[in-house]
């Protein structure tokens, strides 16, 4: 049985993962939400104006209030939101969760998403009680696969033309996952 706790603050060596606020709108818009390089493989198009970002954050903030099963963190670095990571779907019946994320282009290839994902995976296993955490990424975006691998996830296969981008492209998706037992074994082997 899952013990939902909502989007709690998680601190890592360099980051603070925290709930978004509407006050994050301008930074979110400037840092990643309006950047087509960031949204290229996502289901949503770059935000055309900061008002789009404000409206989205307003919806997210309502979800925080409504559901302890809502997990959506702002990734804060040096006091500024630079990306987001969330549970995009989960199963109460089978105790699995799937992650999704986006990060400002200026912070790519610095280990920030790996650090964020590891912290969220730890939280989901230890605090919420999930048995499996996975993620899917566009095959054309191998950097996301490297994040999954660095988090100890195992490649599980490719879904062909599974995903339609906001500009109408059909993309193949690679699936990765890690079970709680694999995560525990990785933890023990890291000491």
Query: Do the domain assignments include residue 5?
Result: no
Rounded Cα gap, residues 83 and 75, in angstroms? 5
Which residue carries 């709930």 as its tokens? 19
Number of folded domains that form the chain: 1
Rounded Cα gap, residues 41 and 166, in angstroms? 8
Q: What residue numbers bound the domain in which 74 lies?
A: 10-189
| pLDDT tens per residue, range 61-120 | 999 999 999 999 999 999 999 999 999 999 999 999 999 999 999 999 999 999 999 999
Question: Structure pTM?
Answer: 0.94
Query: Do the domain assignments include residue 34?
Result: yes
Query: Do the domain assignments include residue 100?
Result: yes
For residue 17, the domain's CATH number is 3.40.630.30
Query: Do the domain assignments include residue 2?
Result: no
């Amino acid at each position: 049985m899952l013990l939902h706790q909502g989007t709690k603050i998680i601190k890592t060596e360099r980051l603070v993962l925290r709930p978004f606020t509407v006050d994050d709108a301008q930074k979110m818009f400037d840092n990643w939400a309006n950047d087509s390089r960031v949204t290229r493989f996502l289901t949503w198009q770059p935000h055309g104006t900061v008002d789009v970002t404000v409206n989205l954050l307003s919806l997210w903030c309502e979800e925080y209030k409504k559901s302890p099963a809502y997990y959506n963190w702002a990734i804060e670095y040096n006091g500024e939101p630079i990306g987001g990571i969330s549970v995009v779907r989960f199963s109460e019946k089978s105790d699995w969760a799937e992650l999704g994320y986006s990060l400002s282009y200026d912070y790519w290839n610095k280990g920030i998403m790996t650090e964020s994902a590891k912290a969220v995976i730890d939280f989901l296993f230890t605090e919420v009680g999930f048995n499996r955490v996975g993620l899917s990424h566009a095959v054309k975006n191998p950097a996301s696969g490297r994040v999954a691998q660095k988090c100890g996830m195992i490649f599980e296969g490719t879904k062909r033309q599974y995903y339609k981008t906001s500009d109408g492209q059909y993309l193949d998706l690679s699936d990765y996952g890690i079970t709680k037992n694999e995560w525990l074994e990785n933890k023990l082997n890291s000491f």
